[in-house]
Amino acid sequence: MTKVEEFEISHMDNFVPLFKEKNWKAILASNIPDPTREVLTIKQNGEILFFAGLHFHRPGVAEGWIMASERVQENKVIFFKQVYRLIHRVCNTAYGLHRFSIAVDLDYAEGDKWARKLGLSYEGIARGYTADNRDHAIYAKRWH
């Protein structure tokens, strides 16, 4: 059973990220300016599948982010469905966004396929996108 709940700092205690970044807690913390807002924990059978959140750039424009657990590998269909639902919920109802984007690390080989299946269009490469200077592909979708 899949459950979506508000993020709590304690959720990080038993979380094992898909990508074995040594500083994953710092990366996650940098994406959570206020952990009481716009951050969700998605669980499958009581285990954390992923964290998800939004960065609001201006009214109607936001960038989504996800930090997946290693459990995503064995739950790819559930992961995809949950991400798809979240994107459409925040864009169509919850926040009324007219533009939603994501940045996909170029080291994530499946990223392009996933982004396109989610209905997002490729927009280009953002060079030195992260604090550690990694390049990312940008994907977006416009509503309204």
pTM of the model: 0.83
CATH number at residue 56: 3.40.630.30
The number of angstroms, rounded, from the C-alpha of 12 to the middle of its chain's C-alpha atoms is: 15
Q: What is the pLDDT along the chain (144 residues), one digit of tens a residue?
A: 888 888 888 888 888 888 767 777 777 777 666 655 678 888 999 999 998 888 888 888 989 988 889 998 899 899 999 999 888 887 777 678 899 999 998 988 888 998 999 999 999 999 998 877 889 999 999 986
How many domains, the chain? 1
Position 128 scores a pLDDT of 92
Q: If 0-12 CB within 10 Å is exposed, 13-18 middle and 19+ buried, where does residue 45 land?
A: exposed
How far apart are alpha carbons 137 and 98 in whole angstroms? 20
Position 117 scores a pLDDT of 92
Short-list 50, 45, 66, 40, CA closest to 16:
50
User: What is the domain extent for residue 108?
Assistant: 2-142
